[in-house]
Structure 1
């Protein structure tokens, strides 16, 4: 089995989370600037056995796509062309940013660190990945 890589894709930054090779545990990996994302993933995929990508799917409360989906669609095409042998799946990402922020509070992270949006993106990617694992 290979790792699953989850992406919380954003206009400026993208949070990245991974599973262990047995696909049991979701862990935050990092946050990268979105323009550098494909280069980062190329390096990661060359070093690790990646079985699939899971990309967060932003939806409105009524399950219709959110405005952010317009940014993600071209990225998904680029990702698919860059890694044609790695399947891409989607996972509903509603509330992940709020849940990430709350988990930081619950974890005792200081107020100054909670302002770190990159950390929130990484935790959001982890929540997306954990929801995906739970769904499977």
Structure 2
């Protein structure tokens, strides 16, 4: 199995996680920071990371409203996925509801300071997205 990248795309940041070669464990990789809504810059950075890591598959968080509807943020993720696919990247959109809340809770439980949480929250959300995808792929829940 090849490594997979997980993305948590926001309006100014994109948290990135990567799997191990066996596709069992997700870990934080980095956070891409860009000007508000400058997704072209974000795309360039993500493509560079994909090339450096020799990864051809991405799990991209799809933000949905709690009732399952897709809003503006969700449409931005769908458009971003299409741009990645145009570059030959396989993209799986993954429901990311509550991943940031869950990541924040984990960091608080780990006694991570507010300042440090702000720096890694996007990466941790990407880890949550990717790990839940990997668990499902490997017969977990």
Q: Once the 2 structures are TM-superposed, how far is the Cα of residue 111 of structure 1 from its aligned partner?
A: 3.1
The correspondence for 1:97, drawn from 90, 97, 100, is 100
Query: Which of 69, 79, 82 is 2:84 aligned to?
Result: 79
What is the rounded CA distance, in whole Å, between the counterparts of 2:114 and 2:13 in structure 1?
21
CA contact (8 A) 1:11 1:71 kept: no
Correspondence for 1:3: 3
**Could you say what secondary structure the match of 1:3 adopts?**
coil
- 2:32 is aligned with 1:27: no
User: With structure 1 as the length reference, what TM-score do the two structures score?
Assistant: 0.87
Q: Which of 64, 83, 86 matches 2:69?
A: 64
* Aligned structure 1 segments of 4 or more residues deviating by more than 3 angstroms: none
* 1:35-54 alignment runs, 5 A limit: 35=38, 36-54=41-59
Q: Which ranges in structure 1 are unaligned for 5 or more consecutive residues? A: none
Deviations 1:68-104 (A, max 9, x none): 112222212211112x1x3110111010111111011
3-state SS in 2 of match to 1:68: helix
CA distance in 2, matches of 1:42, 1:65: 25
* TM-score when normalising by structure 2: 0.85
SS of residue paired to 2:4: strand
Q: Is the 8 A contact 1:4 1:54 kept in 2?
A: yes
